[in-house]
Amino acid sequence: MDSICVQGGIALQGKVSIQGSKNAALPILAATLLVGERSFIRNCPRITDVYAMVSLLKAMGCQVNWQEQGIWVDSSRIQKSVMQSEAVRGMRSSLCLLGAMVGRCGSVVMEHPGGCVIGRRPIDLHLCALGQMGVEFEEEGGLLSASADRLCGACICLPKPSVGATENVILAAVMAEGDTVIEGAAREPEIVALCDYLCACGAWIRGAGTSCIRIRGGRTLYGTDFTVPADRIVAGTYLFACVAAGGNIFLEHAPGPDMGAVLEVAGRMGAKLCTSRDGIYVQAPSGPVSPGHVMTAPYPGFPTDLQSAALVAASLGEGTTLMEETIFENRFRVVGELCKMGASIELLDPGRVLVRGVETLQGACVEARELRGGAALVAAGLAARGETVVRGCPYIYRGYENICRDFRELGARIISA
């Protein structure tokens, strides 16, 4: 199932239920290590990044089993472990196990999580912050060893609102002696979800969702039953696909209150949007309009993970759009593939592209090279005339449970092959 074939040119209609959030589920699964009891995590997305995380939890001795509504994780018996597996090698999201393992058992050895096509993905902020809490690191032969005789709370100031570094500090701080304050914390909804889970387990955390988070360490944690919120990036992907392909859709469970910047850009493109407690109703414009200037930024700014999907809609927008990527240094890899479909996109410099709207895109054979760019190519295929074949789809399955099923529910003619 390496490819997805799309017959484009069909406006989307209908309702689709939005899956649980990948970027909330991953740190929450890591956090189950801190509890030492059974937790039930509902609405956990069935995607390959979660499967990889689950295999790491099992490798460390956790009992894990899937049920229809979610996943049981029992971390009452874990052992120190050397995390060496394909899962760690190819997956950034295992990095949040660093804080959890050091918090739970004082040490961990893992393969150094490398960069990826969208950027170098350094971890200096993680190491510096955890170092302030008493964690010592050794890096040798591609392995990262972390250990702490005594994990102590600290006042951490993050120079950049790194999502992963914020998560790692929270996971370690919950188990540390004393209090921790994180200044300059990331404010993403996924941080809030992680803190909601930990507080439901008995942790004391205040300020989640703001740039100053306070954690009281050393409290006993208990297993809990927790529901992962819906994935705002999956919802936004489908929203921009509708703006590009046309039609009227309902994104059930989409977290409208967490998507303000996304809805603002889609509104500038001419979409009519109505958010409710149950989701977001999207009415595409008869022809998208250029949103002018879109710049990615840390939450609550426009999310970098939706930059590629917005690029697809802007490619069909009347007028020109300046798209600026400020988070990752190499996140315009999809531009070349979109140009194969007839998009007119000029790379001004590594962080900026100029998009000139075209009448239509043409179906083509294109290659996914990373998760969000791959999903954007599927969206482009829905809007294009003729057939589009997107290869490299395992990237897409890292974050989308079943993108073909979802778009079929919206009337698309799409199959995985």
Counted residue by residue, the chain has a size of 417
Between 25 and 176, CB nearer to ligand EPZ: 25
Q: Verify binding: residue 160, ligand EPZ, rule CB under 6 A.
A: yes
Closest residue (Cβ) to ligand EPZ?
Answer: 164
62 is a catalytic site residue: no
- What is the phi-psi region of residue 51: left when phi exceeds 0, alpha when psi lies from -120 to 50, beta otherwise? alpha
Cα distances (angstroms) measured from residue 416 to each of 4, 35, 48, 152, 375: 4, 39, 16, 50, 13
Q: Which is nearer to ligand EPZ, 123 or 376 (CB)?
A: 123
In whole angstroms, the minimum distance from the beta carbon of 402 to ligand EPZ comes to 17
Subset of residues 105 to 144 that bind ligand EPZ, contact rule: CB under 6 A: 119, 121-126
Select 104 or 126, whichever has its Cβ closest to ligand EPZ: 126
Q: Closest CB to ligand EPZ among 92 and 216? A: 92
Q: What is the Cα–Cα distance from 75 to 79, expressed in whole angstroms?
A: 10
Q: Is 92 in the site for ligand EPZ (CB under 6 A)?
A: yes
Which residue, among 194, 189, 190, has the nearest Cα to 172 in the 3D structure?
Answer: 194
Q: Which residues pair with 204 in a beta bridge?
A: 216
Which residues in the 274-333 window bind ligand EPZ by CB under 6 A? 304-305, 327-328
Helix (H, G, I), strand (E, B) or coil at 118: coil
Q: Between 237 and 276, how does the x/- string for binding to ligand EPZ read (CB under 6 A)?
A: ----------------------------------------
From the list 93, 94, 168, 307, which residue makes contact with ligand EPZ (rule: CB under 6 A)? 93
Q: Of these, 162, 290, 321, 388, which contacts ligand EPZ (CB under 6 A)?
A: 162
Return the half-sphere exposure (C-beta side, CA atoms, 13 A cut-off) of residue 105: 18
Smallest distance from ligand EPZ to CB 274, Å: 26
Strand 212-216 and strand 293-295: pairing? unpaired
Name which of 192 and 316 has its Cβ closer to ligand EPZ.
192
Measured distance CA(215)–CA(176) in Å, rounded: 9
Instruction: From 75-83, 163-171, 215-223, 400-408, give the range in contact with ligand EPZ by CB under 6 A.
Output: 163-171
Asked if residue 249 lies in contact with residue 242, where contact means CB atoms within 8 angstroms, the answer is yes
Q: Give helix 260-268 / helix 232-245 axis angle, nearest 10°.
A: 10
Min dist. Cβ of residue 226 to ligand EPZ (A): 17
Contact flags string 180-199 toward ligand EPZ, x per CB under 6 A: ------x---x---------
Closer to ligand EPZ by Cβ: residue 94 or 290: 94
User: CB of 17: closest distance to ligand EPZ in angstroms?
Assistant: 19
Going by C-alpha positions, the residue among 56, 29, 30, 57 that lies closest to residue 43 is 29
Amino acid in position 214? R
> What is the smallest separation between the CB atom of 77 and ligand EPZ, expressed in angstroms?
27
Rg over alpha carbons for the chain, rounded to the nearest Å, is: 21
Angle (nearest 5°) at CA 108 between 103 and 113 = 110
Catalytic residue (choose from 116, 128, 199, 339):
116
Residue 163 CB, nearest approach to ligand EPZ (Å): 4
Considering only 165, 181, 208, 403, the residue that binds ligand EPZ (CB under 6 A) is 165
Before 113, cis peptide (omega within 30)? no
CB 368 within 8 A of CB 396: yes
- State phi, psi for 274 to the nearest 5 degrees: -135, 120
Task: Restricting to residues 50-89, name those near ligand EPZ by CB under 6 A.
Answer: none
**Residue among 86 and 346 whose Cβ is closer to ligand EPZ:** 86
HSE (side-chain half, CA atoms, 13 Å) at 293: 4
Write out the binding residues for ligand EPZ, residues 351-380 only, by CB under 6 A. Answer: 371-372
Q: Which is nearer to ligand EPZ, 186 or 378 (CB)?
A: 186
Determine the Cα–Cα distance for residues 270 and 283; give it in Å rounded to an integer: 9
Largest Cα–Cα separation, the chain: 63
The residues that are catalytic are 116
Interface residues with ligand EPZ (CB under 6 A) are 22-23, 26, 92-93, 119, 121-126, 160, 162-165, 186, 190, 304-305, 327-328, 371-372, 399
